[in-house]
Structure 1
């Protein structure tokens, strides 16, 4: 099976550029924007060897996994551009539900918490978890275009056939969970789910509904967390995300802290007295 768009996505005007191997789907998507592509372009591959994660960390997509980037070009209100990452998380989790209904996933592990019973959970700001282990990561990169438009590459990397073992956190893959879906099948479902969820987002006008749906899948909601902020550790109870999708915790003194960017840790790491 080759990569293809869901009929719903194709009829909505999305386009597809598929590769066997790329250095970075995000970089290719931004190149297309600089070349004049108007956006709504999916760039996909089953192997990526030069990708990046958050804070410039290397992110390689192993053979058989999914590297997918959606190019969006925004012309007007850019204030909600960063919240496309939450659209991506919701779209991917719904696609995973669709293609892996029988995956062996435990509920309520350290990465879950809070009584959440959704099978694939969303870890703020940009990870998808299964049984507390990382299944996927999301990275938004952007560049300004002539005329003031903003090109955004919404990068989504998913462990389908394999997962990395040389990382400092638990990871898993669809294959490890007993699911038989391949990268092409997952992308088909992802392109379909994105089309519907972006319509809800509606250029940021529907962000409140996106926030509500994201919280239904939130990993660690109501549990103790530790957030690393440029060398400092902030601890507290994960209460919610606010209207701007910032991470909201309540510390031991009862103070509310709103965090725009940081690395979140659950379980034993969050409970430890030192970093």
Structure 2
């Protein structure tokens, strides 16, 4: 690994733990005492979780970390950091897997490799007002995939970086790559606004311009994935017109 791969972004702290229940839980515990952006990294998570409290299997050898930061623009822009994080994660994985890896970003918060889910992102806000912070949890299947019987019905097939590409990278080595990529896209967001992030994200979006299914609560919508708007909502073109969807489970 080159020296560049291990460079840590200036002004960003990190806490490295051998084991923890969940890096998101640890983020909530530490957040009140953190003064700046901080990565919380654990080699093992014993009670990892994903969106809506769903279990996230995180065996040793896979990557688990949470970034705690103060979102620019406060609560109104906190959700847009999902796209910043997805771009950073795709960039870090591309750096490891090489230019021929088939990577894409699935709205709103998954990264795909060869059409399977290799990584997920979870956002939670902590505190409020002047104390508002954002926790961005990231899990990556670097070496292992979850057992089929642990998956939800209809869930995307999971894949691992090692199985798909033969590339082996440790979580400790992956952390600085991801931290550096996030710092890059975060600076773009701060300097140029969401337009720059949105354009970069759309260039990497899975199934853009194709038929998808969106499940919102008890409702199911079918249509063409047209774009995302300036709030990050998915724009679905149905027979009767376009629909903006702020949150949903997406199926291909």
Structure 2-normalised TM-score?
A: 0.91
Q: Give the number of the structure whose residues are more often helix, by fraction.
A: 2
Matches within 5 A, 1:109-148: 119-145=102-128, 148=130
Question: 8 Å contact 1:100–1:181 — kept in the other structure?
Answer: no
**CA distance in structure 2 between the partners assigned to 1:17 and 1:187 by the alignment:** 11
1:99 aligns with 2:96: yes
Question: 8 Å contact 1:8–1:195 — kept in the other structure?
Answer: no
Question: 8 Å contact 2:7–2:176 — kept in the other structure?
Answer: no
Of 119-128 and 47-56, the range deviating more from structure 2: 47-56
1:196 aligns with 2:193: no
Which stretches in structure 1 are left out of the alignment for 5+ residues? 106-118, 267-275
Distance 1:235 1:99, change over 3 A: same
**CA distance in structure 1 between the partners assigned to 2:6 and 2:78 by the alignment:** 24
> Which of 212, 237, 247 is equivalent to 1:250?
237
Question: 8 Å contact 2:72–2:78 — kept in the other structure?
Answer: no
Aligned-pair CA distance for 1:245? 0.8
Distance 1:127 1:76, change over 3 A: closer
Residue aligning to 1:210: 197
Which stretches in structure 2 are left out of the alignment for 5+ residues? none
How many equivalent residue pairs? 243
Two-structure CA RMSD over aligned residues (Å): 1.9
Deviations 1:36-90 (A, max 9, x none): 2113100011221212111111113111100011001248643111111111100
Residue aligning to 1:80: 77
Of 86-95 and 23-32, the range deviating more from structure 2: 23-32
**CA distance in structure 2 between the partners assigned to 1:239 and 1:260 by the alignment:** 14
Residue aligning to 2:60: 63
**CA distance in structure 2 between the partners assigned to 1:217 and 1:75 by the alignment:** 24
1:54 aligns with 2:51: yes
Deviations 1:219-257 (A, max 9, x none): 01011000001011000000000111100110123x000
Distance 1:86 1:75, change over 3 A: closer
> Which of 167, 171, 196 is equivalent to 1:183?
171
Aligned-pair CA distance for 1:126? 0.3
1:233 aligns with 2:197: no
Aligned-pair CA distance for 1:217? 0.5
> Which of 17, 20, 34 is equivalent to 2:18?
20
1:263 aligns with 2:245: no
Residue aligning to 2:7: 7
Structure 1-normalised TM-score?
A: 0.83
